[in-house]
Structure 1
């Protein structure tokens, strides 16, 4: 909390004018802190007489960290199928587990999920903890969060990975809070630090302008949610052997406070970007929504999907479901054609895993060329129509 030494305070008002939250007022010649204080520390930095200080609680080390061992992956399943991010995380988890010299386990929660555990083993899991219970037929934060937390408390994994999907983002923070540990959300890279075995969790920060690497030194497990399509799954090996552990949890643990009356799968978003092998994307360089008619034509000829940068979506040229980037979808197609996209890092984090990136931009110094496999410097309104013509000729020949 913010401490004010009233004997040292001279009531100069510098802290009051500095506080962007309006949390400090000078009353009766002395600074007084209000409830809107966020402990940002800006007032402490400007106080020339040292009357302000922040008292922070020291984080206690959570017992013996060596008691926690193993890498876990929450294996998300939807509508009776494993989500692709589950196998992607097993690929990433396999590398972490080998680096740490520990086992890799998957946690499977749901109802009537027969056969999925064997699939997880084929994709790299050594063990699969299965909680198959009718209470988990519909997803709720509390039931799924309580189940994963109960398993983690008993078996003590040092690392838990989950997808940064709608489901993962919904209940994994509850798990971290229940276990009194840290959580790094929306990671794009994971590694093990050599000197102490800590998990290095890298994610975009400050609007995607920098990449921050975060560690959780004092508590376990180290929990990360990871962006879909940024990790590569292992090649499926049907001959792999592993251990499937059926777990029966206390019914009270799985009893949710929310009752799901009905689940409706909307079919409003027909933009299947995540599974497209070819993606044609447009940006600010298309100038208006008419430019996207040209992009759609190229995508149709190639049998691909249409994507866009945030600038194009914010301009109202194309709906949000097409947006790729930090605040949109992540894609990893075989071919990504970027038309009139400058290549801001916020966009790059959503498409840089593509096998081949083709960039078309009139600015030879555009950052997109730094990640492009092939670059074409020129006007998209001249180049794209020629590509459409050539592809049509080849398709009809």
Structure 2
């Protein structure tokens, strides 16, 4: 068996979710190859070559791959798909944009969001917001899979010595065009790579309260900031802060939920965190069912007291 992992990258370095995807590929068994599709992406290819467990890196470097358009990456993968038994991508916005196209063109069923590898043809994935686990077996000759990063511990980013081989990129499909990208600049860790997240919900009341109450706590803990869907929908913060089934799915060292009731969609995105702390004035809030530590009280007084306690 030979497995292809489609790397998520920024042309200079490899994104963290790629390391989890390589971990899943290693559990399947066989040789693991990594595809870096980009423009001026030698830096990303060199970084991929250092990943533990990777046997070969394929570099498709062309202007039409600069922004990672799904149609052009898909075409590049299809050119080499016959050489692989499994094609894996991280279950991020990037991977979810590409994998279904590949599966459709190969006429196979995509296996989405796996968290466990049982064997080379059998995988486990959460359904019903994580309240049940489906065991999926595939007889397709090429298995197209997306990997939930929180289900697999990342492999080491250093220590490998794979070769880098250049391959031809697919021509520009010409059916979409990159217009612009607006990046949110944060002076703190990204949600998907953070070890600690301080997350706020509708209980904060408005965006001003969100910033005033949570930013000082996040600064003290060196944490990323997150939010429930209710807080995002209410306009407190941008949607890239959202944690939950329709946002970012995280499994980290510490998750602090402030003013979040704990809707099932939110719990699906954070309940695998190692330590969960919940602060809410409602003692019956569902968030307490998954919390390791719960504090019932007014968040507007509790959080400032917590910040003072950290200072001391």
Corresponding residue for 1:66?
none
2:78 paired with 1:149 = yes
2:177 paired with 1:266 = no
Assess, with a 3 A threshold, how the Cα gap between structure 1 residues 263 and 275 changes in structure 2: closer, same or farther: farther
2:92 paired with 1:171 = no
Corresponding residue for 2:42?
114
2:216 paired with 1:297 = yes
Alignment partners' CA distance in 1, 2:107 and 2:214: 48
Assess, with a 3 A threshold, how the Cα gap between structure 1 residues 320 and 76 changes in structure 2: closer, same or farther: closer
Cα root mean square deviation, aligned: 3.0
Alignment partners' CA distance in 2, 1:126 and 1:289: 44
Corresponding residue for 1:161?
88
Alignment partners' CA distance in 2, 1:170 and 1:305: 25
Corresponding residue for 1:215?
136
TM-score by length of 2: 0.83
2:295 paired with 1:376 = yes
Unaligned runs of 5+ in 2: none
Q: Is 2:17–2:90's contact at 8 Å kept on the other side of the alignment?
A: yes
C-alpha displacement of 1:132: 3.0
Q: Is 2:45–2:164's contact at 8 Å kept on the other side of the alignment?
A: no
C-alpha displacement of 1:182: 0.8
2:196 paired with 1:278 = yes
**What are the within-5 Å matches in structure 2 for residues 21-32 of structure 1?**
none
Greater RCO, CA 8 A, separation 6+: 2
Which residue of 5, 10, 19 corresponds with 1:78? 10
Unaligned runs of 5+ in 1: 1-68
Which residue of 191, 195, 200 corresponds with 2:123? 200
2:259 paired with 1:337 = no
Assess, with a 3 A threshold, how the Cα gap between structure 1 residues 111 and 268 changes in structure 2: closer, same or farther: closer
C-alpha displacement of 1:115: 5.0
Alignment partners' CA distance in 2, 1:245 and 1:309: 42
Deviations 1:322-351 (A, max 9, x none): 211111223444432111223333112322
Q: Is 2:115–2:148's contact at 8 Å kept on the other side of the alignment?
A: no
Assess, with a 3 A threshold, how the Cα gap between structure 1 residues 230 and 216 changes in structure 2: closer, same or farther: closer
Corresponding residue for 1:255?
171
Q: Is 1:282–1:340's contact at 8 Å kept on the other side of the alignment?
A: yes
Alignment partners' CA distance in 1, 2:5 and 2:135: 19
